[in-house]
């Protein structure tokens, strides 16, 4: 039975919050304004970092899914679900910040660029994952099906990206927004690179911190469930 919050987790909380404050300061005050795009370019630092955490979450979920199928330990199922939930939030942040940037730079909120298409389909896959889990009462079966779907979903993502890209290269769009590097590309200065890397690191810490919290929550919920069953029996 674990109940007390581990000391290390508290330390990680504090470190993460401090890092987030520093990263925010770096993004708004330390990094220089980009010459062509102006201030809107600053969204880039957290945009890429959120996308990275989204992908990391789905990768962790798939690995935890494989581990669950091999070992059958409940902890892996909780890890997998937690990683998907966190990954979805950050993938969504990634899409929203991308739209904010795209409006002035590409002159549209949305375009069917391969990356954007893949991000959308990825979110739909994990929404389907949550719906699947919702429809199953037996926790053992829910864990097994969840693991199977999270593996299948993760495998299909690179194929989706590849086919979406091929779709565009064979059928080019006249407006030059179909290549991510084409519109709104820029060279990073050293200070920008520092800010960017620090934002990546910060978001990785946020991911680790949230994942730890969420797994702890999942385990505690499990314990409550078991105690409830014991009382009812």
Partner 1 sequence: MKENTTLVQVSTRSQSFGFFRAMSAVVWKDLAAELRGRELISAMLVFALLVILIFNFALELDAETRSTVTSGVLWVTFAFAGTLGLNRSMAMEKDRGCLDGLLLAPVDRSAIYFGKAIGNLIFMLIVEMIVLPVYSLLYNTNLFNPGLLLVILLGSIGYVAVGTLLSSMAVQTRTRDVLLPILLFPVAIPVFIAAVRASTGFLQGIDMAEIQPWLSLLITYDVVFTAVAFMVFDYVVEE
Which residue's CB is nearer to partner 1, number 52 or number 145? 145
Contact (CB, 8 A) for 84 and 151? no
CB 14 to partner 1: min, Å: 39
Q: Contact positions toward partner 1, by CB under 8 A?
A: 69, 121, 124-125, 128, 131-132, 134-137, 141, 144-145, 147-149, 151-153, 155-156, 159-160, 162-164, 166-167, 170
In the complex, the smallest distance separating the C-beta of residue 167 from partner 1, rounded to whole angstroms, is: 6
CB of residue 25 vs partner 1: minimum separation in angstroms? 39
3-state secondary structure of 34: strand
Q: How many CB atoms lie within 10 A of CB 25?
A: 12
Residue 111 or 194 having the CB closest to partner 1: 111
For residue 30, give the DSSP letter: I
Q: Which is nearer to partner 1, 115 or 214 (CB)?
A: 115
Angle (deg, nearest 10), helices 43-71 and 74-105:
160
Residue 52 burial (CB < 10 Å; 0-12/13-18/19+)? middle
Q: How far is the CB of 116 from partner 1 (least distance, A)?
A: 14
Using only C-alpha atoms, the chain has a radius of gyration, in whole angstroms, of 20
Name the helix (H) or strand (E) containing 220: helix 190-232
- The residue among 12 and 136 lying less far from partner 1, judged by its C-beta, is 136
Q: Give the residue among 50, 55, 58, 84 at the shortest CA–CA distance from 215.
A: 84
- Give min distance, CB of 46 to partner 1, in A: 26
């Amino acid at each position: 039975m674990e109940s007390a919050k581990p000391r290390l987790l508290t330390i990680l909380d504090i470190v993460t919050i401090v890092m987030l404050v520093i990263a925010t300061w770096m993004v708004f005050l330390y990094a220089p304004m980009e010459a062509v795009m102006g201030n809107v370019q600053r969204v880039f630092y957290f945009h890429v970092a959120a996308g990275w955490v989204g992908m990391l979450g789905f990768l962790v979920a798939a690995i935890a899914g494989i581990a669950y199928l091999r070992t059958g330990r409940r902890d892996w199922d909780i890890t997998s679900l937690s990683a998907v939930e966190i990954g979805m939030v950050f993938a969504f942040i990634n899409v929203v910040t991308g739209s904010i940037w795209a409006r002035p730079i590409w002159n549209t909120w949305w375009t069917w660029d391969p990356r954007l298409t893949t991000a959308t389909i990825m979110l739909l896959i994990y929404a389907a994952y949550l719906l699947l889990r919702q429809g199953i009462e037996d926790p053992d079966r829910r864990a097994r099906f969840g693991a199977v779907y999270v593996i299948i979903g993760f495998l299909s993502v690179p194929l989706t990206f590849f086919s979406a890209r091929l779709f565009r290269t064979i059928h080019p769009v006249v407006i030059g927004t179909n290549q991510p590097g084409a519109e709104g590309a820029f060279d990073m200065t050293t200070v920008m690179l520092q800010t960017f890397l620090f934002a990546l690191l910060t978001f990785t810490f946020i991911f680790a911190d949230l994942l730890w919290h969420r797994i702890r929550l999942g385990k505690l919920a499990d314990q409550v469930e078991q105690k409830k069953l014991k009382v009812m029996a």
